[in-house]
């Protein structure tokens, strides 16, 4: 018995890479405002609602509208205990409800009791380590030089305009003076930088969804293989008999 295995298929987001990266940075800024040096409570539920909405918008082409009600109900049921009181158990319900809802919305292979475990493994265990490789792959890909040039040219013109405007406005010139490298290094917060790095890595797999599908194995009987070989021989026999 011979088996042929189809390779695992990964579904990625359909949005441009730069746009997805901007969404991730915006979500990290929201997380910074809600969580860093703040008491975590209802803000966690609010952030996961925003994260879910951003994930669905960034991966709109992958949405399965037939399972919209089930996915929304799972998120609401998972969020209700955390709205009442945020503790370890309600946090787990909220987290599993969020990732299960996103999986049902966007992953055609999701379904059954293993959906939370599969989503947890792909989004929270494997996903955070994809940010660096994905950025490097995007920089090496075709058209990356043009994309970088398209961002650098307006940025350069904006800096020139800001410098000219600062020369005519003492208030802006004084504000730009606070951005000197020595002052920036002196005020650099390492813990906040680590927090931002962690948030960017955790948010990225939700915006750049990439679901791994199971390998499908198809068995071919020996008789079927013999029929294929005979068919190929018949097709090539006239070609071989030509002088």
Domain residue spans of the chain: 2-140+191-216
What is residue 231's predicted lDDT score, i.e. its pLDDT? 66
124-174 tens-digit pLDDT:
999 899 988 888 887 776 665 556 656 666 677 677 776 766 666 677 666
What is residue 178's predicted lDDT score, i.e. its pLDDT? 61
Alpha-carbon distance of 182 to 186, in angstroms, equals: 6
Q: Which regions of the chain are under pLDDT 70?
A: 1-15, 141-154, 157, 162, 164-169, 172-188, 213-243
What is residue 52's predicted lDDT score, i.e. its pLDDT? 95
User: Of 122, 77, 127, which Cα lies nearest the Cα of 101?
Assistant: 77
What is residue 200's predicted lDDT score, i.e. its pLDDT? 93
Which pTM does this prediction carry?
0.69
HEC per residue, the chain: CEEEECCCCEECCCCCHHHHHHHHHHHHHHHHHHHCCCCCCHHHHHHHHHHHHHHHHHCHHHCCHHHHHHHHHHHHHHHHHHHHCCCHHHHHHHHHHHHHHHHHHHCCCCCCCCHHHHHHHHHHHHHHHHHHHHHHHHHHCCCHHHHHHHHHHHHHHHHHHHHHHHHHCHHHHHHHHCCCHHHHHHCCCHHHHHHHHHHHHHHHHHHCCCEECCCCEEEECHHHHHHHHHHHHHHHHHHHHCC
Alpha-carbon distance of 101 to 72, in angstroms, equals: 6
What is residue 113's predicted lDDT score, i.e. its pLDDT? 81
- Please tell me the number of Cα atoms within 13 Å of 108 on its side-chain side: 8
Alpha-carbon distance of 207 to 26, in angstroms, equals: 12
What is residue 242's predicted lDDT score, i.e. its pLDDT? 47
């Amino acid at each position: 018995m011979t088996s042929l295995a189809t390779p695992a298929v990964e579904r990625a987001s359909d949005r441009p890479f730069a746009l997805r990266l901007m969404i991730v940075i915006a979500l990290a800024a929201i997380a910074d405002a809600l969580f860093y040096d703040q008491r975590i409570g209802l803000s966690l539920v609010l952030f996961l609602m925003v994260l879910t909405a951003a994930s669905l918008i960034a991966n709109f082409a992958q949405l399965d509208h037939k399972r919209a009600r089930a996915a929304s109900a799972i998120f609401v049921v998972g969020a209700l205990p955390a709205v009442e009181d945020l503790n370890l158990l309600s946090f787990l319900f909220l987290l599993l409800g969020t990732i299960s809802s996103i999986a049902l919305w966007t992953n055609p292979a999701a379904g059954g009791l293993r959906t939370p475990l599969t989503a947890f493994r792909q989004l929270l265990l494997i996903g955070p380590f994809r940010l660096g490789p994905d950025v490097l792959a995007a920089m090496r890909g075709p058209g990356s030089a043009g994309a970088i040039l398209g961002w650098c040219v307006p940025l350069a013109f904006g800096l020139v305009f800001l410098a000219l405007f600062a020369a005519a406005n003492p208030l802006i010139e004084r504000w730009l003076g606070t951005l000197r490298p020595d002052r920036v290094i002196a005020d650099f917060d390492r813990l906040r930088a680590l927090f931002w790095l962690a948030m960017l890595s955790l948010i990225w797999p939700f915006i750049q969804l990439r679901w791994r599908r199971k390998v499908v194995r198809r068995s071919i009987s020996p008789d079927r293989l013999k029929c294929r070989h005979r068919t190929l021989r018949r097709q090539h026999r006239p070609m071989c008999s030509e002088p």
